[in-house]
Amino acid sequence: MNDVINLLLQHRSIRKFKDVPFSREQREAILSAAQAASTSSNMQAYSVIHITDAALKSQLAELAGQQAYVSECPLFLVWCADLHRYAEAAHRHGDTPITGNAENLIIATVEAALAAQNAAIAAESFGLGVCYIGGLRNKPADVSELLGLPQLVYPVFGMCIGMPDQEPLHRPRLPQEAVYHENRYTANPSAVSAYDETIRAYMHRRTNGKVDTTWSKEMAAKALRPRKHMKAFLSSQGFDME
Amino acid sequence: MNDVINLLLQHRSIRKFKDVPFSREQREAILSAAQAASTSSNMQAYSVIHITDAALKSQLAELAGQQAYVSECPLFLVWCADLHRYAEAAHRHGDTPITGNAENLIIATVEAALAAQNAAIAAESFGLGVCYIGGLRNKPADVSELLGLPQLVYPVFGMCIGMPDQEPLHRPRLPQEAVYHENRYTANPSAVSAYDETIRAYMHRRTNGKVDTTWSKEMAAKALRPRKHMKAFLSSQGFDME
């Protein structure tokens, strides 16, 4: 073990922030760390939009499902999968069509995620807290219009960053044997059953006994809330996923 | 700046490894760090397969495009987007269909990437080097069959980990103003032009003047090599992307 591992293990999402500004140096270091992440064939197929405009932040908070911490956090970033820059560059030397096919969607989504995770760790190394905002995909067309996203760019998630003003419990993760396999995928339903009880105990503790649930019950509830609009939205941004 | 930021900035892909084994403690810490990454609604929609079988590693190296370092690295991991476990859990409490729609594909792909990036950083904190292997998507159906991947699971990328036996140059990234925007997406073609010259100089240095290229030329070349099979493959794994 070492300090870096400890930092990674200490991660929890932070949704309440002190009114403490970040420095320009911190912001630039966070973005430099993001840029240092691995990239497929050096495509760097992502963009990050820093929302400095308070009114725009409030609109995004609303679109994300009235998540107040989006407007309240000192630093809010929108991480985008971006094939537009790649297409613009490639077209300087030919007219090979660049499409938002399934592979390109995966590349750009992965690149946004790798860069964002480096940014999250960099922020946490400064003692800041972060929270990913998948809720930007609730109304992705509205978000894209507000941010002026061109074709072949879509918002994957937002990220709140700021000085934590809360000490949330660590939510336990699945037992390692549920996500870890050797040589061959092997489903482990008994590890899921064990985790159900872990989550039950955790939720009891977190809610002073008010909530009785398990992981599998949460997953069944989650299944009732699909974001079915994503295909049509992605198609409108040029991601045909062919 | 601090030690964590410096670690993140020092990242380069490592493709040549010393024949030094990793410890079980290191492997477990790397995977614990992966599990600590953010997860959407606690879905933890990824799996990681550790390839300990030498023959299997060689087959994967071949499928990835004869990348010898896949078979030579001490620790090779395959990171999978995994909705199978989520579906199995949800179906304990109802029969809401879980599909590989576009949103679920994105969630699971992002979760695999966030976990993998934490693993990469944890490995680098031990002085190990890593390399992502997108080449597993060259023949993803063969990879999936070898690893016994069930429906709603697909291999996003592999990862080589081991003690570095090379000191590659750091490849410069795009100028920050090319990937960073404030409030609104703003294409920056002049930053791309400047980067073209940066990459030209870098490639001259790396190849002792033998290769004359630019970033945009590399991107035009990349555009000629699409992985057009991904849609059909994903569909066969249950990702209809509807």
Task: Give me the residue from B42, B118, B185 closest to A147, CB to CB.
Answer: B185
- Structure tokens given for A186: 């092997």
Question: How much is the average pLDDT of B96-113?
Answer: 97
The continuous run of DSSP H or E covering B133 comes out as: strand B129-133
Same domain, A107 and A215: no
A237 falls within a domain:
no
- Structure tokens given for B61: 């190296």
Compute the mean pLDDT over every residue in chain B, rounded to the nearest whole number.
97
Residue B167 has, within 13 A of its CA and on its CB side, a CA count of 0
DSSP string over B34-72: HHTS--GGG---EEEEE---HHHHHHHHHHTTS-HHHHH
B234 falls within a domain:
no
Same domain, B21 and B102: yes
- The C-alpha of A68 sits at a distance from chain B's nearest C-alpha, in angstroms, of 18
Task: Give me the residue from A134, A150, A234 closest to B102, CB to CB.
Answer: A234
Q: Which domain holds residue B180?
A: 176-218
Same domain, B134 and B37: yes
pLDDT 10s digits, B129-152: 999 999 999 999 999 999 999 999
Same domain, B117 and B180: no
CATH number of the domain where residue A146 is located: 3.40.109.10
Same domain, A140 and A89: yes
Chain B residues with CB under 8 Å of A237 CB are none
- The C-alpha of A232 sits at a distance from chain B's nearest C-alpha, in angstroms, of 8
A197 falls within a domain:
yes
ipTM, two decimals: 0.98
pLDDT 10s digits, B163-214: 999 999 999 999 999 999 999 999 999 999 999 999 999 999 999 999 999 9
B225 falls within a domain:
no
CB-CB under 8 Å, A107 with B110: no
pLDDT greater than 90 at residue B226: no
A-B contacts (CB, under 8 Å): 330
- The C-alpha of A210 sits at a distance from chain B's nearest C-alpha, in angstroms, of 19
What pLDDT score was predicted for residue A226? Answer: 87
Same domain, A90 and A199: no
B28 falls within a domain:
yes
Chain A residues with CB under 8 Å of B202 CB are none
- Count CB-CB contacts under 10 A for residue A110: 31
Q: How many domains does chain B have?
A: 2
**A105 or A225: which carries more pLDDT confidence?**
A105
Same domain, B185 and B130: no
- Structure tokens given for B15: 């493709």
pLDDT 10s digits, B20-72: 999 999 999 999 999 999 999 999 999 999 999 999 999 999 999 989 999 99
pLDDT 10s digits, A94-147: 999 999 999 999 999 999 999 999 999 999 999 999 999 999 999 999 999 999
- The C-alpha of A21 sits at a distance from chain B's nearest C-alpha, in angstroms, of 17
A91 falls within a domain:
yes
Chain A residues with CB under 8 Å of B43 CB are 219, 222
pLDDT 10s digits, A27-54: 999 999 999 999 999 999 999 999 999 9
Task: Give me the residue from A10, A82, A215 closest to B89, CB to CB.
Answer: A215
